[in-house]
Amino acid sequence: MPSLTLAEARARADLLTVSAMEVDLDLDQGAEHFGSVTRIHLSAATDGETFLDIDPVTLHAIRLDGRDLDTGMLADKRYPLDLVAGEHVIEVEATMAYSHDGEGLHRATDPADGNDYVYGHTFLDAAPSVFACVDQPDLKAPYRVTVTAPSDWVVIGNGAAEGGEGAVWRLRETKPLATYFVTVCAGPYAQVRDEHDGISLGLYGRASLRAELEAHAPEMLEVTKASFDYFHSIFGVRYPFDDYDQVFAPEFNAGAMENPGCVVLRDSYLFRGAVSRSERLTRANTISHEMAHMWFGDLVTLRWWDDLWLNESFAEYMAHRCLVAATDFTDAWVDSTMARKSWGYAAERSPSTHPVAGSSAPDARSALANFDGISYAKGAAVIRQLIEYLGDEAFLAGIRDFLTRHSFGNASLADFLAAMERAAGTDLDSWSTAWLETAGVDALSVERESATLTRAVPEDHPADRPHQLDVATYSGGRETSRTALTLSEDTATLHGIDLDAPLVLPNAGDLTWATSLLDERSLGALLTELPSLEDEQARAVIWVGLRDQLALGLVDPRLLVDLGERALPGERNDSILASAGMHLTGKVIRNYLPEDEQAAARSRMADLGERILAEASAADPGGSRELHAARLVARTTTDVEGRLRPWAKGEDLPPSLVGDDDFRWIVLGQLARQGALRAEEIEQARRADRTMTGNLGALTATAAIPTADAKAAAWADLTTNRERSNYELVAIAAGFWGPEDRDLVRPYIERYFTDIPAMAGHLGDSALGRVASMAYPSRFATPETLELSRACLARDDLDMAVRRAVVDAQAELEQVVASRARYGA
């Protein structure tokens, strides 16, 4: 299917206006296919040729103004139309296929009870696999949707369900929507309903997760209500759509999707077992993020995909701002530093880096290549810089102007900047060029001798970015001085700063987007200063800065392992403890350390986990630190008989983890990697946990078994089994590369670069990209792997989603190879 080009979209927008969409879906035709009837009401400005988008199994009929057209004209998922000027009605009858890769109308079976569930994800170019349409973001229209479903199903969509008879659900007509926001969710969902400020609220989850839904509903509804109140107070526009439903759907590709009135979220947010505060914060952030999209993205929609940042950067920023101002998650910006900005900085280091805004997207699919941590985390940081530049009052006035002026329509970066300029009375051309339209991240460092703060601009992406930031100093864990300044040149003199302090930290409050480089004296002081440092935001900036310096080859990975041992036992911020621990075990030790040092380092992490576990179990049983410590032990220990087997049997566990099947699968996965669990035992455990999570845990554990036969079977399952869902493929890839005996999987390094690209024919872009990233042989950081990877990228037939995954993974592999060359001895 050719991806819609910008030129084609502009031509259609000039010719067509879509005034109404009527969609009838029949979901009661079995597990493979569904019926789709669409009536498109549109007008043509002049006589002209154009096309509809439709991706059917069978196109039964297409009629233009009541006249039958030749169904054989459909080609490459496009149906050509020759229209005369004036009003038209196009009716399309088709049979469509459910997907299993998370795109279009995805259908999944819950092994817990055999129930089926459907969700619609029409993002980017998936809508034509659900209904016929003119599929581009700037041709919005109201939708009237009718759904026929099995009699025991619930149907949720963008419009609230109105009366109906039997299994026919009629959804209230929506406000104008872009095609990629249209969704239908259906199945025997459990539900919790509430109301707030005149808005009907609904939470939905699988029937087998009813207990979890009801247990977590009070907190999720509290965050939902607080977010509504906060956004109403600052946006000046009330929530503009229908009921506000949140559907926790199985096998959802993304974290969530902001469909107006019917947000779809991954159902792993309905935590089955013990849950940490950082996980609850992440869920709260996702809830608030998707709600912010009701204004940014849904009410005002991008005109074309190259302004996708307008959705994500603002929702990212607004969610964190909301959590700090209106909920108990007042440390949300610390979590942003650890979990979000580190993601964005990694994207900036990759050859695939791009500007926040203004990246050329000549067609719809190419836009997906720029949908990453830069769109989210860097964009949010840039918004914070804009507020520092303009002032919060002018910023909010500009937002209100922008939302009011473009309500239920489309807008672009130029429209947004114009609103900001009107509000602030200042020109933003140079600011936009530097921050929004130029890629790259500046490096900030302090020179003690000259008392200067230095800005190093990346050579490949030169820009004059002004930074509003602070610099702080610390001694004995306490702040000794702090100054706020604007860095508008390459150097600035620091005043009122204690440069004799052991630790000097640029961007201590994490107000700007930059790599904070520590001087040699500060690096040398970390082992004593970081464990006692009182400022949790500064601790987060240090940990993330060390990740950057590690990737840049500026620090020895052993320092991070030493810091983990020293600082994490006393770490009380949940996000820092969880994120730093995962980075140490999953990146630093697994990849950066020389191979002959990795086992000893993992043993040190297991001992660290045991120390924190013992202290937390005594001081705060059932708390987050206890949970993170137990997970750290389960991921790293090799004590099969003394620790792993008893935990797998439910023995000697902290009370909060007794009966926690999710934790048990972590333990079983480690037992499998150690060669201490047979496939038959894994299958027995799966039968005891007949859930989607149990199935995924079993797939990961089975793929981890360190035998040649198990690896061959897992690789074949991953690369050739077309019945596997998106989640199942990722689960298999997650367990594959782990055995101590690297020779077991070494032959699959070369096979990755042929077998994974071949999966492009049957997986959608989002699922394929996730599988290609997870399955990349990053554990084998050698020049030979790099040579194979580079040869793969030299192919001219490589799918775009695979290419982006390989580019990013290879960039990290190159960093690891360089680090090992420098620090390997």
Q: Which residues are catalytic?
A: 290
Q: Three-state DSSP class for 38?
A: strand
Q: What is the pLDDT of residue 163?
A: 65
> Can you tell me which residue has the tokens 């300029």?
421
DSSP state string for 618-629: HHSTTSHHHHHH
- The tokens describing 347, both together, are 């994207």
**34/18 Cα distance (integer angstroms):** 25
Q: What is the pLDDT of residue 358?
A: 66
Q: Do the bridges between strand 199-205 and strand 244-249 make them parallel or antiparallel, or are there none, so unpaired?
A: parallel
Q: What is the pLDDT of residue 237?
A: 96
Integer CA distances (angstroms), 156 to 163, 586, 645, in order? 13, 39, 44
- The tokens describing 85, both together, are 């000027």
Closest CA to 732 of 722, 745, 719, 749: 719
Closest CA to 634 of 658, 605, 656, 593: 605
Q: Which residues have CB under 8 Å from 388's CB, separation 6+?
A: 468, 511
Q: Which residues have CB under 8 Å from 187's CB, separation 6+?
A: 115, 116, 117, 118, 153, 154, 206
**518/529 Cα distance (integer angstroms):** 13
> Can you tell me which residue has the tokens 């059917």?
56
- The tokens describing 285, both together, are 């952030």
Sign (positive/negative) of CA torsion 175, 178, 179, 185?
Answer: negative
Asked if 683 and 698 touch (Cβ cutoff 8 Å), the reply is yes
Asked if 556 and 784 touch (Cβ cutoff 8 Å), the reply is no
Cβ atoms within 10 Å, residue 739 = 20
CA 623 to chain centre: 26
**290/319 Cα distance (integer angstroms):** 8
Residue 29's region, left for phi above 0, alpha for psi from -120 to 50, else beta, is alpha
Q: Which residues have CB under 8 Å from 664's CB, separation 6+?
A: 647, 648, 650, 685, 689
Give the CATH class of 305-435. mainly alpha
Asked if 264 and 252 touch (Cβ cutoff 8 Å), the reply is yes
Cβ atoms within 10 Å, residue 202 = 22
Q: Three-state DSSP class for 738?
A: coil
Sign (positive/negative) of CA torsion 219, 223, 228, 233?
Answer: positive
**679/599 Cα distance (integer angstroms):** 25
Q: What is the pLDDT of residue 63?
A: 98
- The tokens describing 652, both together, are 């000697």
Q: Three-state DSSP class for 658?
A: coil
Angle ∠(209,212,218) on CA atoms, nearest 5: 135
Angle ∠(396,409,308) on CA atoms, nearest 5: 70
Angle ∠(805,808,810) on CA atoms, nearest 5: 100
Residue 316, class by beta-carbon neighbours within 10 Å (0-12 exposed, 13-18 middle, 19+ buried)? buried
* β-pair partners for 95: 35, 58
Locate the domains of the chain by residue range. Answer: 6-188, 305-435, 442-512+517-555
- The tokens describing 715, both together, are 């690789």
Q: Which parts of the chain sit beneath pLDDT 70?
A: 1, 163-165, 358-359, 369, 825
Residue at 504: amino acid letter: V
Rounded to 10 degrees, the C-alpha dihedral 556/560/566/567 comes to 140
Q: How many residues does the chain have?
A: 825
- 214-260 pLDDT, tens per residue? 999 999 999 999 999 999 999 999 999 999 999 999 999 888 999 99
Asked if 83 and 50 touch (Cβ cutoff 8 Å), the reply is yes
Asked if 278 and 264 touch (Cβ cutoff 8 Å), the reply is no
Q: Do the bridges between strand 452-456 and strand 256-257 make them parallel or antiparallel, or are there none, so unpaired?
A: unpaired
Beta strands in 6-99 (DSSP E): 16-26, 33-44, 48-53, 58-64, 67-68, 78-83, 86-97
- What is the CATH number that goes with domain 6-188? 2.60.40.1730
Half-sphere CA count of 270, side-chain side, radius 13 A: 29
Integer CA distances (angstroms), 518 to 507, 521, 527, in order? 11, 8, 13
Q: Three-state DSSP class for 297?
A: coil
Asked if 571 and 330 touch (Cβ cutoff 8 Å), the reply is no
Integer CA distances (angstroms), 435 to 257, 358, 441, in order? 27, 11, 10
Q: Which residues have CB under 8 Å from 77's CB, separation 6+?
A: 1, 53, 54, 55, 128
Ramachandran angles phi, psi of 751, nearest 5°: -65, -30
Sign (positive/negative) of CA torsion 701, 705, 711, 713?
Answer: negative
Q: Three-state DSSP class for 611?
A: helix
Asked if 185 and 157 touch (Cβ cutoff 8 Å), the reply is yes
**88/65 Cα distance (integer angstroms):** 6
Beta strands in 476-550 (DSSP E): 478-487, 491-493, 503-506, 514-516
Asked if 729 and 756 touch (Cβ cutoff 8 Å), the reply is no
Closest CA to 386 of 407, 361, 356: 356
> Can you tell me which residue has the tokens 């790259």?
440
Closest CA to 178 of 402, 364, 372, 34: 364
Greatest Cα pair distance, the chain, in angstroms, is: 84
